[in-house]
Amino acid sequence: MFSKVSKSLLIILSIFLHLGNGFAQDIPIGTWRDHLPYADAISVSQGNNIIYCATNSAVFTFNKTDNSIERLNLVNGLSDINPNKIKFNPYNGKVIIAYKNGNIDVLDINKKITNIPFILTSSVVGSKKINHIFIKNQFAYLSTDFGIVVLNTDKLEITDTYFYGALGSDMITNSVTMDSQNIYAASTQGVYFASLTSNNLADFNNWSLLTDLGSVNYSSIVFFSNLLIASSNSTTSLGDSIYFNLNGVWQLVTSVGDDIENIEVLSGNRLVVNKLYGTEIFDENLVLLQQLYTYNGSIPIVSNEVVLDNENILWFADNFKGLVKFSTNNSPSFIAPDGPSTSSSFALDMIGDDLWMVSGGYAQQINQNNLNHRKNGSWSKFPTFINNPLSGVLAGLVEVAINPKNTSQVFVGSWSAGLIEYNNDNLVQVYNAQNSPLDSVFFGPTQVGTVNFDEQGNLWVTTSFPNNNKALHVKKTDNTWFSYEFTGITGSNNFFTDAIIDKNGYKWFLDPSEGVIFVFDDNKTISNTSDDRIVKLGGPSDLIVEIPGSNILSIAEDHDGEIWLGTDEGIVVFFSTGGVFNNEITANQIFVEQDGNVEILLGTEVVTAIKIDGANRKWFGTQNSGVFLMDENGTKEISHFTKENSPLFSNNILDIAINDITGEVFFATDKGLVSYKGTATNPLDDYSLFIYPNPVKPDFNGTIAIRGLVEKSNVKIADINGNIVYETTSLGGQAIWDGKTIEGEKVTSGVYMVFVNSEDGSQKKAGKILFLN
């Protein structure tokens, strides 16, 4: 009997496990996920058979034993973003992670991370950037933009700070080293030294300038092969130089044309010189052994740091290729966790699992970051360096739109190149004033600020500051164009940054330069302008409707057809828009109770982004206070995420996108893209029940998702005897359950039935969930 029951349970378990395999890339409800670049490596260190690599946004490790990669970022334990240096301490196995803002994390051998914010929170005025880490036993000497800070990595505390400039002033310190007698500091004003026998290195009087080297900028200093070696940065045509001290006399090693980034001592008694483009390696006699400019004859080396392991393999922190494993006898290996090409996230568009990200920039020659596409959990990058006749690059990508009728077709608005079309991830066409009606700025670029599809699949595009006053254009499904000129309403001074097309087919366009909205109705007759209607709302001279604030920054339509606006003074709602062309429209502010006081919803916030989830709830992104999730009426706060209380990278939110199938919410911030697994999905017309996780393992303490529901479904969960243990109503197309009974007790092991039915009872579905407690 026991064997039969066990066999039955194994069969059931195998079925549940099989069902769950297709959702392995999903994350639990209420958890966060980073979407940071990892190919822009800036610092590397090694220890305990692990390579530690810091990028401009995060850290990752590579285990040489099993080739596994592990991310370390603000989501899973680091205290900050934007590291600058990483260093393994062989004395105790700890890893120091230093940030550009002076913050410090220490990672121990048990993967525990301890934050030491001493520099970050100090009263030092100006930059607190940490430029270099020198290890001596348990002490880490941190070269900063104001002096030297000594960190005891055993006690995890700061033990001293050296202000060794004139009269104890700040000194930008680039590097520190020691010999048996002295400590040396390479600074922007020369090389300084002090005796290690001094009782008080914090006293500037105990420091002296090495006058033979002069008071110029020195980027690095090392003690190698019983020689003190320093690299200087020169502004002359001779380039930078490397000097060594032999018997008290400074001698020139080499003068190079390329900028010297740094010099470091490698294991195996080697000295490495990292230059702007390339790396040189010297032996203990300062004889040049290798000059490396490419990894395989074609890919240039742009190394910030390099280490040499005991197998004579070089590990580069490359600015474009991430962590690079390189030896002269083998092909290079480029190692980096998957991610976008940049942390500059400006605007997003998403349909299902398809996410496109552009990096922004309302200027012709700035922000030439790649276009990025995430699908099935993997990122693809598309370079902007193409043969664009006007600017040479597709810079300033500010808007992106996926064709809902053909998701392989994507259009991108560029502030320097016009409208860009991609199909199946391939560049198809660039539309500008030369090949389309998209007019340009006077003798300048075609600036496309908004791109939207209507229900029929027509593409609506706005151009800013057009010569011919035609700011609105439509690319019809037959690939022909039609443009609109609204004399006296829009013109060559308009600057469009956001737009929607509502359920009525009305086009809403925001112009933040005037703080106004244009609403246009083509009456579904694109080429017939006789029945068109347009109205301008907002601004100081508007007699139709008063919109609070001086700037309108974001717009969204909810499931009830209400239009929500984000302004520099909070939220405004048009509850009814049918009379907008008859001057019958009212701008409403939402009032909420906060600590016993009635206040305007986000009345003190600059609301930069609005997104509606599957339960008609409102996600509001702000310029300074992170993200707010409000109920469907906007009167009840459900969540408020900030950099201080969550893994959100920044409180400056630029855009929001939602995976309407899984409920994952993506936040574009000025520090990078991050996502949060929300509780609501879009409702379905018919049931397609899916329960995750299933089975529920003993160590699971999160939230269970019951997905694939029709709107406002009633959900009942019963044990095998038919006893109801929990009941709830779906949020859009998803219900959530914490695995506990109505009384708050965790359910016992076994199979539980899930019964769902629509609000009117016309549709029903049942499923099962297995608990392994």
Structure tokens at 534: 């347009």
pLDDT per residue as tens digits for the range 609-618 = 999 999 999 9
Per-residue model confidence (pLDDT) at position 173: 98
SS3 531: helix
Give percent of the chain above pLDDT 90.
76
The residue to which tokens 């002096």 are assigned: 147
Q: In what order do the strands lie in the sheet with 750-757?
A: 724-729, 714-718, 750-757, 764-771
pLDDT per residue as tens digits for the range 667-720 = 999 999 999 999 999 999 999 999 999 999 998 999 999 999 999 999 999 999
For residues 479 and 459, give the distance between their C-alpha atoms in angstroms, rounded to a whole number. 9
For residues 416 and 217, give the distance between their C-alpha atoms in angstroms, rounded to a whole number. 38
* Phi, psi dihedrals of residue 503, rounded to the nearest 5°: -65, -25
* Phi, psi dihedrals of residue 38, rounded to the nearest 5°: -125, 5
470 pLDDT exceeds 90?
Answer: no
SS3 341: coil
What 3 state SS string does 443-460 have? CCCCCEEEEEECCCCCEE
416 pLDDT exceeds 70?
Answer: yes
For residues 470 and 487, give the distance between their C-alpha atoms in angstroms, rounded to a whole number. 9
390 pLDDT exceeds 80?
Answer: no
Per-residue model confidence (pLDDT) at position 360: 80
Structure tokens at 238: 């001779």
Quickly state the pLDDT bin for 364 (edges 50, 70, 90).
low
- Mean pLDDT, residues 237-265: 82
Neighbours of 137 (CB within 10 A): 12
For residues 502 and 508, the answer to whether their CB atoms sit within 8 Å is yes
Neighbours of 376 (CB within 10 A): 7
Enumerate residues 6+ apart whose C-beta is below 8 A from 262.
132, 175, 219, 220, 231, 274, 304, 305
Bond prior to 693 in cis (omega within 30° of 0): yes
Contacts 24+ apart (CB under 8 A), 54-59: 54/83, 54/84, 54/85, 54/86, 54/97, 54/317, 55/83, 55/322, 55/336, 56/82, 56/83, 56/343, 57/81, 57/82, 57/83, 57/343, 57/671, 57/672, 58/34, 58/83, 59/83, 59/86, 59/97
- Mean pLDDT, residues 257-277: 87
CA nearest to 141, candidates 227, 222, 41, 36: 222
For residues 109 and 94, give the distance between their C-alpha atoms in angstroms, rounded to a whole number. 6
Enumerate residues 6+ apart whose C-beta is below 8 A from 282.
253, 270, 271, 272, 273, 288, 289
23 pLDDT exceeds 60?
Answer: no
Strand ranges (DSSP E) for 64-168?
69-72, 83-89, 94-99, 104-107, 113-116, 130-136, 139-144, 148-152, 157-162
Per-residue model confidence (pLDDT) at position 656: 99
Per-residue model confidence (pLDDT) at position 583: 86
Per-residue model confidence (pLDDT) at position 327: 87
For residues 137 and 153, give the distance between their C-alpha atoms in angstroms, rounded to a whole number. 9
SS3 167: helix
Per-residue model confidence (pLDDT) at position 233: 84
- What string of DSSP letters covers 665-714? EEEEETTEEEEEE-S-BPPBSS---EEESSSB-TT--S-EEEES-BTT-E
Structural domains in the chain, CATH included, are 2-25+683-771 (2.60.40.3080), 38-162+294-337 (2.130.10.10), 163-292 (2.110.10.10)
| Amino acid identity for residue 424 in this structure | N
Note the residue count of the chain. 773
For residues 731 and 679, the answer to whether their CB atoms sit within 8 Å is yes
| Alpha-carbon distances of 717 from 167, 295, 725, rounded to whole Å | 74, 59, 6
630 pLDDT exceeds 70?
Answer: yes
For residues 549 and 569, the answer to whether their CB atoms sit within 8 Å is yes
Strand (E) or helix (H) holding 12: helix 2-21
Q: In DSSP terms, which residues pair with 193 in a beta bridge?
A: 184, 208
**Exposed / middle / buried, residue 74 (Cβ in 10 Å: 0-12, 13-18, 19+):** buried
pLDDT per residue as tens digits for the range 723-733 = 999 999 999 99
pTM of the entire structure? 0.92
Bond prior to 695 in cis (omega within 30° of 0): yes
For residues 585 and 597, give the distance between their C-alpha atoms in angstroms, rounded to a whole number. 28
* Phi, psi dihedrals of residue 212, rounded to the nearest 5°: -65, -25
For residues 262 and 134, the answer to whether their CB atoms sit within 8 Å is no
SS3 620: strand
Strand (E) or helix (H) holding 45: strand 41-47
Looking at residue 731, what DSSP letter applies?
A: B
Per-residue model confidence (pLDDT) at position 386: 61
Strand (E) or helix (H) holding 555: strand 552-557
157 pLDDT exceeds 50?
Answer: yes
For residues 339 and 673, give the distance between their C-alpha atoms in angstroms, rounded to a whole number. 10
For residues 323 and 317, the answer to whether their CB atoms sit within 8 Å is yes
Quickly state the pLDDT bin for 392 (edges 50, 70, 90).
low
Quickly state the pLDDT bin for 4 (edges 50, 70, 90).
very low
- Mean pLDDT, residues 250-273: 85
The residue to which tokens 């090409």 are assigned: 341
Look at 716 and 389; give whichever has higher pLDDT: 716
* Phi, psi dihedrals of residue 379, rounded to the nearest 5°: -100, 140
- Mean pLDDT, residues 257-275: 87
CA nearest to 536, candidates 578, 496, 508, 572: 508
pLDDT per residue as tens digits for the range 421-468 = 999 998 889 998 889 999 877 667 889 999 999 999 999 999 988 777
Per-residue model confidence (pLDDT) at position 301: 92
- Mean pLDDT, residues 290-308: 91
pLDDT per residue as tens digits for the range 66-117 = 999 999 999 999 999 999 999 999 999 999 999 999 999 999 999 999 999 9
1 pLDDT exceeds 60?
Answer: no
For residues 468 and 439, the answer to whether their CB atoms sit within 8 Å is yes
For residues 357 and 355, give the distance between their C-alpha atoms in angstroms, rounded to a whole number. 7
Per-residue model confidence (pLDDT) at position 391: 47
**Exposed / middle / buried, residue 51 (Cβ in 10 Å: 0-12, 13-18, 19+):** buried
CA nearest to 109, candidates 158, 153, 43: 153
Tell me the longest C-alpha to C-alpha distance in the chain: 94
For residues 619 and 417, give the distance between their C-alpha atoms in angstroms, rounded to a whole number. 32
Per-residue model confidence (pLDDT) at position 542: 64
Give percent of the chain above pLDDT 70.
92
- 712-750 residues labelled b (16+ CB within 10 A) or e (exposed): ebbbebbeeeeeebbeeebbbbbbbbebebeeeeebeee
Per-residue model confidence (pLDDT) at position 621: 98
For residues 737 and 703, give the distance between their C-alpha atoms in angstroms, rounded to a whole number. 6
Structure tokens at 206: 């105990």
Per-residue model confidence (pLDDT) at position 548: 85
237 pLDDT exceeds 70?
Answer: no
Bond prior to 698 in cis (omega within 30° of 0): no
Per-residue model confidence (pLDDT) at position 441: 74
489 pLDDT exceeds 90?
Answer: no
CA nearest to 274, candidates 314, 313, 302, 308: 302
For residues 425 and 373, the answer to whether their CB atoms sit within 8 Å is yes
Structure tokens at 209: 């300038």
What is the pLDDT of the chain when averaged over all its residues? 91
24 pLDDT exceeds 70?
Answer: no
For residues 693 and 736, the answer to whether their CB atoms sit within 8 Å is no
Enumerate residues 6+ apart whose C-beta is below 8 A from 200.
206
Per-residue model confidence (pLDDT) at position 227: 94
